[in-house]
């Protein structure tokens, strides 16, 4: 075997000028390739990120376009321009806090009424027709089983007799209710009543069904304070017989 072309006579590896240039060129090329690869990786990183955003946007556009457009475009709220400042007024209805509900005004106290003095009850007094205190002019007193006290006064009218009740007392002046208890065994008879000599009140007394059966007639008259007189008469025809009068006066 002959000597190795790359080794010397002493066996040490020897590189000639041509081989040295080749080695240096190969090393330089390797460094260039490494630098190119690193530079390519750095350039691809932002491109990939940008590409991802574009893909996301594309996917978003596809999703938006895939939604069915059921709503009317006129009902959609108007888009607000990006960057447009909102018109918010300080203290407007949109930003002002709701005012607390105001308490209703207190109810006024109920009106206090002064206690009123109750009206005095009416005084009811009965006056018998046959009483000796009455004015008995040309009258007759008859027995009457159905009458108060068993008696009645008759023969009144036709200018024969008159009956006047005296001492009909009223504490104060005003109207009084007079209930006349009478007896009439015939058809209706007429009698007249005059208070304190005033104009007479004409009354028609229906029949009572017998000369011992009583009926009542109510009339309202005006009395003056103190004693009053009440006269029963009839100048034209016969009046009924009378048992008593009951006066209700305040």
Total count of domains within the chain: 2
Q: Tell whether 69 is covered by a domain.
A: no
Q: Are residues 30 and 141 in the same domain?
A: no
- Whether 240 and 132 map to the same domain: the answer is yes
Same domain, 129 and 45: no
Residues 132 and 26 in one domain: no
Residue 65 lies in a domain: no
By the 8 A CB rule, do 165 and 226 touch?
no
Is the pLDDT at 121 greater than 90? The verdict is no
In a shared domain, residues 129 and 209 = yes
Are 152 and 224 in contact by the 8 Å Cβ rule? The answer is no
Give the model's pLDDT for residue 113.
Answer: 81
Residues 48 and 127 in one domain: no
Query: Higher pLDDT residue, 203 or 35?
Result: 203
Q: Are 121 and 171 in contact (CB under 8 A)?
A: no
What pTM, to 2 d.p., does this model score? 0.55
Range of the domain at 221: 123-249
Query: The CATH number of the domain where 196 resides is what?
Result: 2.60.120.260
In a domain, 101, yes or no: no
Q: Are residues 133 and 222 in the same domain?
A: yes
Would residue 63 count as lying in a domain?
Answer: no
- pLDDT, residue 212, reads 95
For 189, residues 6+ apart whose C-beta sits below 8 A from its C-beta are 157, 204, 205, 234, 237, 238, 239, 240
Indicate whether 87 belongs to any domain.
no
| 59 occurs within a structural domain | no
Residues 132, 228 within the same domain: yes
Cβ neighbors of 1 (< 8 A, separation 6 or more) are: none
Write out pLDDT tens, residues 17-26.
777 777 778 8
Tens digit of pLDDT for each residue in 35-94?
Answer: 877 776 655 554 444 444 444 433 444 344 444 454 444 454 555 554 444 555 555 555
Alpha helices in 97-180 (DSSP H): none
Determine, yes or no, domain membership for 152: yes
Is 117 part of a structural domain of the chain? no
pLDDT greater than 60 at residue 140: yes
Mapped onto helix, strand or coil, the DSSP state of residue 200 is coil
Both tokens assigned to 102: 């105001």
């Amino acid at each position: 075997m002959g000597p190795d072309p790359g080794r010397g006579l002493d066996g040490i590896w020897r590189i000639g000028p041509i081989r040295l240039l080749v080695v240096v060129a190969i090393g330089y090329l390797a460094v260039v390739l490494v630098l190119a690869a690193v530079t390519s990786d750095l350039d691809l990183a932002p491109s990939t990120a940008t590409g991802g955003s574009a893909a996301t946007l594309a996917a978003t556009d596809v999703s938006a376009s895939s939604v069915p457009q059921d709503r009317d475009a006129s009902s959609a709220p108007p888009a607000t321009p990006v960057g447009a400042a909102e018109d918010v007024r300080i203290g407007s209805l949109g930003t002002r806090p709701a005012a607390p509900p105001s308490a209703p005004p207190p109810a006024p106290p109920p009106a206090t009424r002064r206690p009123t003095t109750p009206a005095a009850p009416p005084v009811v007094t009965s006056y018998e027709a046959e009483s000796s205190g009455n004015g008995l002019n040309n009258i007759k007193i008859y027995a009457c089983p159905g009458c108060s006290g068993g008696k009645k006064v008759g023969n009144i009218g036709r200018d024969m007799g008159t009956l006047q009740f005296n001492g009909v007392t009223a504490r104060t002046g005003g109207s009084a209710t007079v209930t006349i208890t009478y007896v009439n065994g015939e058809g209706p008879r007429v009698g007249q009543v005059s208070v304190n000599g005033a104009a007479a009140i004409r009354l028609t007394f229906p029949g009572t069904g017998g000369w011992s059966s009583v009926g009542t007639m109510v009339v309202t008259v005006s009395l003056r304070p103190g004693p009053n007189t009440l006269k029963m008469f009839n100048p034209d025809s016969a009046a009924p017989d009378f048992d008593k009068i009951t006066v209700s006066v305040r």
